[in-house]
Amino acid sequence: MTFLDLAKKRRSVRKYSHRPIEDEKLQLVLEVGRIAPSAANFQPRYFIVVRDKEKKERIAGSYSKFNFNNSKDVPAFIVICGDHQKSWHRKLDGKDYCDLDIAIAVDHMTLQAAELGLGTCWIGDFDPQACRKVLDIPDHIEPIAILHIGYSIGESQYESELSKEHSSFGNNQDGTKKRKSFEEIVFWNKFGN
């Protein structure tokens, strides 16, 4: 499989089987996140794997209704946290690169999971304070993203209807990913064409 094929294969999965994730596969996904690049190699990220049903339910209770309804069968959550005190800040204007470092790590993890036959869904619509409380996260560490991970039940009537119902979430009516054209986002030597 080429990298382009892998990037096209990766998608947000919202319905999972009850099949547990093998520890070796989960370790590999976490290792890819660990070795992902970060600004100035400061590595301001932490990963908390949550398999405990009660903790997952409490965390999911802070989601939007849409994400909550799609979290019930997820075998594991990976809560990705950042330490803004340890991240690189641009000298010119103080821009904090922590969130970008987290995004790079999560992207690497989603691609590795796809290669291993696992599905993922990147959750951003949650209450960080509720998550912090459930997982005893210190005040200076921010829960930035949650990654649902597990085996997808595959294309189903549920996913087809979800794609149609939520086409504004980035899917065409046929369920394929909606993407802007190359010409809309790539410019040469100046902004705009």
**% of residues, the chain, pLDDT over 90:** 72
For residues 165-177, average pLDDT: 62
- Is the per-residue pLDDT at 152 higher than 90? yes
2.160.10.10, 3.30.70.2190, 3.30.420.10, 3.40.109.10: CATH of 11-154: 3.40.109.10
Instruction: Name the 3-class secondary structure at 147.
Output: strand
Query: Regarding predicted confidence, which is higher, 46 or 154?
Result: 46
pLDDT digits (tens, 9 = 90+) for 93-112: 999 999 999 999 999 999 99
* 124 CB-contact burial (10 Å; exposed 0-12 / middle 13-18 / buried 19+): exposed
**Domains of the chain by residue range:** 11-154
What is the predicted pLDDT for the residue at 72? Answer: 75
Residue 136 sits at φ, ψ, to 5 deg, of 55, 45
- Is the per-residue pLDDT at 148 higher than 80? yes
Cβ-based neighbour number of residue 1 at 10 Å: 9
What is the predicted pLDDT for the residue at 157? Answer: 43
- pLDDT-based confidence at 178, cuts 50/70/90? confident
Mean pLDDT of the chain: 89
pTM here is: 0.87
